[in-house]
Each structure stands twice: as C-alpha cells, then as structure tokens.
Amino acid sequence: MGNHKIKGKDLKQINFKTDKAKSLAIDIMRRDYKYLSVNEQLDKLEDVISNPQGYADDNSFSKLVTELLGEEKVNPGVAYQLNENESTIKIYGSQLISEETIQQMAIAMRLPISVRGALMPDAHMGYGLPIGGVLATDNVVIPYGIGLDIGCRMSLTIYDVPTTFIKRNNYHIKSSLKDHTHFGIGNPAKPIADHEILEREEFQEIDFLKKLHGKARMQLGTSGSGNHFVEVGIVELSEDNKLNLAAGNYVGILAHSGSRGLGGTIANHYTQIAKERCLLPKNAQQLAWLDLNSEAGQEYWIAMNLAGDYAKACHDVIHKKLAKALKVKPVAKIENHHNFAWKEQHDGQEVIVHRKGATPANHGQLGIIPANMIDPGYIVSGKGETESLCSASHGAGRKMSRKAAKESITGSELNKRLKQNRVTMIGGGVDEAPMTYKNLDEVMLSQRDLVSIEGKFYPQIVRMDKQ
C-alpha cells in the first residue's frame, strides 16, 4: 500500500485553506481510503472541497467538513409545503414498475412548481426523481431531477462494412477497446485528448467552473463505471428507416456514458445551494429547486449545458479514436441525452422538462434504447406523444439492485450467459449481468405509442469498467 499513501505535496492542486484541513485530509485518506490510488484520493478530496455540506454526515469526513466550513453561516431559505394532491402523471407499463417507484414520482408531482409528469416503463427508484421519471416544472430546475451524471447519453455510429468484419478482426477490436477506452475514477486517457470543449468561455466566466477545468481535461474521452459501456456489434436496419440507409446489416459502435466528475461536482454543488434556499419536507428534500430567474439558477443552467456538451465531446473522442484504430468510416450517427433538462412548449406553456433516465421522443427524433450486455437494443424514432411529454424509456431498467445482484449471481452464471449468446465481455461484473434488468421487449410493448422501431443493435464485444 506504500505507493497509495497521499502526501502533503500531493495536495498542492487542492485549495485547502488551513494546515489543519490538510492534516485531516491526509489522515482520512491513509486511514479509510488507502486502497485507492493517489489520483483517486485526490478526486475524492476535490469532491469534498466542492461540496462539503454533502459530506457533513459522513463519519470519515465530518471533522474535515467542520474545519472547511468554520463559522460559515447559511442564509435561511424559504419553506415550502407539498400540495395535498399530485399534478397529472401518466404511467406507462405500470405492471413493470414497483409501487415504491410510483410513490417516489407521486411526491415529485406534489411539488408546488410541478406542472405535469410521466413515468417510463423502465422506471425504478433513484435519488430525487426516479430513474425513468419525466417532470415538467414552472420556470425552475431541480438538479437532482436531472441527476449526478448530467448529460449521460447514448451514441451509436454506423459503419457500412460487412458484419463479418467483427469476426475477422476480433482480436484487433478487443485490443482497440482496451487501448482506446478508459473507465472509472483515476484512469485518464493517455495521451490526454484535445477538444474545443476545453476552450469554452464558461470555464473562465464562472468561478466554480474554473476549478473544474483541470478535472474536465483529465477525464475527457473517458467513461464512468457502473452501467457505462462501449460496445461493438451488428446494426440491423428496417425497411424505410428514418436514417435514410438501405435496409440490412451494418457494423456499429455503441457508447453509454456521461459528463464524468465535471457533471457530478456540478450536480452536488448546486443541489446543496438549492437545499439551502428551498426548504422542503424530509421526504422531498432531494427535489429542492433553483428559480431560473435567480443567479444560482442561471449559473446551474449554464453549467448543466456545458456538462451536456462535455459528455458529447467525450463520446466524440471515443468514437473518433476507435474509428481510426479500426480504419472504418461512419455513414450515420445517432445520439441522445437521457439525464438533462430542456425548455419546451407543452399545452401552450413553456416548461422545464426534466428527463432523468428518459429518452427525448419528439416526432421523428432518433434515439437508442439499449437492453443489456447480451440482448439487442432498439433504434427508435419518436412519435411526439404529448402525454409522455414526448419521452420514452432510456433502456430496459433495473429489476435488481447491484447489491442483490452480487449476492445472488455468480461469475460462472454470467460467463455461461455470455458464451450462450456469443458475446465477449471485457471488464464488467455480475452487478451488470443481464438478469438484473427487465425484459426490453416488454418495455417496448408498453411504449409502442411513444416510439417507432427503426432497427436493432446486437452487442458482440462489450467493454465496461473492471469490477
């Protein structure tokens, strides 16, 4: 563990105001986080600095938080009560959704700023809004209605090469995925990618974002852990598809990831501000909002959009590197956010539509809805259904928690499933096994009024974070 011991000189890049804070930080890392690399420890401490209140109840960090905050006073916020009855909510595939998830959405619908809402058939419990929850609000934004991974998205690049390309180049594809994709904390892409997103003026105009520029630079072109992936597989397009490509089979690269530490730090920072200003009952505290007429609300909106563009930039870098390594040229690309908020018109009113784990499905809008690491996902186009706030599911949705998966599924079971379906897995773990997800075909049946099917994507080689 010697190489993982953090030292005082390692903290130079972090803005600790006192020597005591530095000493506490070193003690905490050596005691409770010595299994992390030095870079991972620094990432953790940066998050504590950016959002000390979020760690106030953490046994490891409570003393450090007290030192960081000192005698800082928090401005009293405005107390709000929930409405007795929730606003209109439309539920798709209720038979696939737990009662706890429906109740969590019902709380969101009782906020005094809620206008309309919908639950997608892949919905399950989350922080703030459920995953698969769609909420329209009146001129306010809820940071946890979008989530920690701002701009988490799908991107599919299609290549007009024979599908035998995958079998013929199996070893080269696996090597390219290992060399040109990077997952999890403390695993930067090398060399660090260059992209115009790093020149964005927002990084200079907002003090809080200035501090995140270095992290954004280090993590550009990388993916998160958990259910994030990069896959090479077969794209099957239907007749008269809206991509204007001939029906048939193509090779595709599908990626799923978001805005990395940039988005997570933005989410935590502005959620804390929202909680201080918007005082809600205990069961709704994570739904605290920021008025878009306020300075903090405007700042969050700018930061959210920057994080969304950063997530897209990460995807662009990944696809570009792999295309170059495999010597293939794209003929089409489909991409969509599913953790984001948009200003939209519904029923003649401008509202802020939060889609947390939900795919935008305006009329004719293309999107990707994946299943799991072995079953085919769907390429879709939206039908513009107003009752769903022009939304659809973002995947199959979990039916089993990660903890439950690790307790009930073995590695040999997962490997057997992969072998049966002729799918190669690089990294990954039982917490993302196919058995932990709902049946995507059942999900699609429940949202047949929301999207049209344009094609399918069949995973062949799957790259995820090593568990």
Indicate if the pLDDT at residue 339 is higher than 50: yes
Q: Are 46 and 159 part of one and the same domain? A: no
Under the banding of pLDDT at 50, 70 and 90, the label for residue 343 is: very high
User: What pLDDT was estimated at residue 76?
Assistant: 67
Please answer whether residues 339 and 258 qualify as being in contact, where contact means their C-beta atoms are separated by less than 8 angstroms: yes
**Residue 108 within any structural domain of the chain:** no
User: What pLDDT was estimated at residue 69?
Assistant: 79
394 included as an active-site residue:
yes
Please answer whether residues 392 and 361 qualify as being in contact, where contact means their C-beta atoms are separated by less than 8 angstroms: yes
Q: Are 252 and 400 part of one and the same domain? A: yes
Whole-number Å distance between alpha carbons of 160 and 167: 15
**Residue 269 within any structural domain of the chain:** yes
**Which one of 14, 40, 68 terminates a domain?**
68
How many other CB atoms are found less than 10 A from the CB of residue 149? 23
358-360 and 349-356 beta bridge pairing: unpaired
**Residue 114 within any structural domain of the chain:** no
Q: By percentage, how much of the chain surpasses pLDDT 90?
A: 77
Residues whose CB falls within 8 Å of the CB of residue 274, separated by 6 or more in sequence, listed in order: 142, 143, 288, 289, 290, 296
Per-residue pLDDT tens digits for 132-159? 999 999 999 999 999 999 999 999 999 9
**Among residues 357, 281, 433, which one has the least CA distance to residue 127?**
357
Per-residue pLDDT tens digits for 419-465? 999 999 999 999 999 999 999 999 999 999 999 999 999 999 999 99
Q: Are 396 and 261 part of one and the same domain? A: yes
- Give residue for tokens 């997570």: 264
User: What pLDDT was estimated at residue 85?
Assistant: 82
Q: Which residue has the higher pLDDT, 428 or 118?
A: 118
Whole-number Å distance between alpha carbons of 298 and 304: 10
**Which one of 68, 103, 126 terminates a domain?**
68
User: What pLDDT was estimated at residue 3?
Assistant: 59
Rounded average pLDDT over 225-229: 92
User: What pLDDT was estimated at residue 40?
Assistant: 82
C-alpha distances (whole Å) from 440 to each of 67, 236, 313, 377, 393 are 49, 17, 28, 8, 10
Indicate if the pLDDT at residue 107 is higher than 60: yes
Q: Are 216 and 349 part of one and the same domain? A: yes
Per-residue pLDDT tens digits for 32-78? 888 888 888 888 888 888 788 778 777 888 888 888 877 444 456 89
180, 228, 354, 394: the active-site residue: 394
Per-residue pLDDT tens digits for 387-410? 999 999 999 999 988 899 999 999
User: What pLDDT was estimated at residue 8?
Assistant: 77
Whole-number Å distance between alpha carbons of 383 and 404: 36
User: What pLDDT was estimated at residue 314?
Assistant: 96
Q: Which amino acid is at 42?
A: L
Q: By percentage, how much of the chain surpasses pLDDT 70?
A: 97
Q: Are 39 and 183 part of one and the same domain? A: no
Please answer whether residues 113 and 136 qualify as being in contact, where contact means their C-beta atoms are separated by less than 8 angstroms: no
Q: What domain count does the chain have?
A: 2
Indicate if the pLDDT at residue 191 is higher than 50: yes
**Which one of 17, 36, 68 terminates a domain?**
68
Bridge partner residues of 459 (DSSP): 233
Write the DSSP string, 95-159: GGS-HHHHHHHHHHHTSTTEEEEEEEEEEE--SSSPEEEEEEESSEE-HHHH-SSTT-EEEEEEE
**Among residues 407, 402, 410, 411, which one has the least CA distance to residue 431?**
402
| 156: its two tokens | 């599919």
Rounded average pLDDT over 89-94: 96
Please answer whether residues 283 and 107 qualify as being in contact, where contact means their C-beta atoms are separated by less than 8 angstroms: yes
Sign for the pseudo-dihedral over CA of 392, 395, 396, 402: negative
Q: Are 61 and 161 part of one and the same domain? A: no
User: What pLDDT was estimated at residue 184?
Assistant: 85
Q: Are 50 and 192 part of one and the same domain? A: no
Q: Are 234 and 374 part of one and the same domain? A: yes
Q: Are 43 and 184 part of one and the same domain? A: no
Question: Phi/psi class of residue 243: alpha, beta or left (left: φ > 0; alpha: ψ in -120 to 50)?
Answer: alpha
User: What pLDDT was estimated at residue 186?
Assistant: 66
**Residue 216 within any structural domain of the chain:** yes
Please answer whether residues 268 and 54 qualify as being in contact, where contact means their C-beta atoms are separated by less than 8 angstroms: yes
Whole-number Å distance between alpha carbons of 112 and 413: 48
Print the domain residue range for 55. Answer: 2-68
The C-alpha torsion from 139 through 144 and 146 to 150, rounded to 10°, is: 120
Under the banding of pLDDT at 50, 70 and 90, the label for residue 1 is: very low
Q: Which amino acid is at 227?
A: N
Please answer whether residues 150 and 302 qualify as being in contact, where contact means their C-beta atoms are separated by less than 8 angstroms: no
Mean pLDDT of the chain: 92
How many other CB atoms are found less than 10 A from the CB of residue 175? 13
User: What pLDDT was estimated at residue 404?
Assistant: 93
Q: Are 34 and 168 part of one and the same domain? A: no
Whole-number Å distance between alpha carbons of 302 and 333: 26
User: What pLDDT was estimated at residue 109?
Assistant: 96
Q: What DSSP element (H or E) covers 264?
A: helix 260-277
**Residue 23 within any structural domain of the chain:** yes
**Residue 78 within any structural domain of the chain:** no
Whole-number Å distance between alpha carbons of 234 and 148: 31
**Residue 127 within any structural domain of the chain:** no
User: What pLDDT was estimated at residue 74?
Assistant: 45
Bridge partner residues of 79 (DSSP): 279
Under the banding of pLDDT at 50, 70 and 90, the label for residue 386 is: very high
Q: Are 167 and 44 part of one and the same domain? A: no
Q: Which amino acid is at 265?
A: T
Whole-number Å distance between alpha carbons of 227 and 256: 8
Segment among 85-89, 90-94, 429-433 with least mean pLDDT: 85-89
Whole-number Å distance between alpha carbons of 438 and 428: 18
Indicate if the pLDDT at residue 346 is higher than 70: yes
**Residue 223 within any structural domain of the chain:** yes
Indicate if the pLDDT at residue 2 is higher than 50: no
Q: Are 299 and 175 part of one and the same domain? A: yes
Q: Which residue has the higher pLDDT, 366 or 52?
A: 366
Indicate if the pLDDT at residue 25 is higher than 90: no
Whole-number Å distance between alpha carbons of 271 and 263: 12
Rounded average pLDDT over 95-108: 96
User: Which CATH number characterizes residue 180's domain?
Assistant: 3.90.1860.10
Please answer whether residues 397 and 121 qualify as being in contact, where contact means their C-beta atoms are separated by less than 8 angstroms: yes
Distance of CA 319 to the CA centre of its chain: 18
